[in-house]
Structure formats: structure tokens, C-alpha cells
Amino acid sequence: MAHIHVVNGTYYFHGHIVPGWQSVKKTFDTAEELEIYIKQHGLEYEEQKQLTLF
């Protein structure tokens, strides 16, 4: 499992929980670079889950 943060146009990819991905931290300058990395590693997106505060 991993997640992505976008800050000022930079994409930060962080791995979590799954062995082999826990210490993965990558930075990409463009969405295209991120997409290439995702495809090269056989990853895929799942539905985003967010909490909403009232």
C-alpha cells in the first residue's frame, strides 16, 4: 500500500505496510514521471478514501 501527496507541483510517493514497500519514498517532478513509475512496477490505483469532518 502506498499513497501520494502533491505539494507545489511535486509528487511524493510513500510506501506503507506491505513488506518491500515500507521504506519506499520517491519524489517525481511531473504526473507523467509518477505514472511511468506506477506502470513499471505493476501498481494500480484504488478508490480514494477520505474522512470528512463536520
Would you state the cell numbers that stand for residue 53, as one nine-digit string?
469532518
**pTM beyond cutoff 0.85:** no
State how far Cα 27 lies from the chain centre. 9
**38 SS3 class:** helix
CB atoms within 10 A of CB 11: 19
Dist. CA 11–CA 35, nearest whole Å: 11
pLDDT at 15: 74
**Rounded percentage of the chain residues whose pLDDT exceeds 70:** 72
What value does the CA radius of gyration of the chain take, rounded to a whole number of Å?
12
Summarize pLDDT for 10-25 with one digit per residue, the tens.
Answer: 988 877 666 666 667 7
Which pLDDT score is estimated for 24?
72
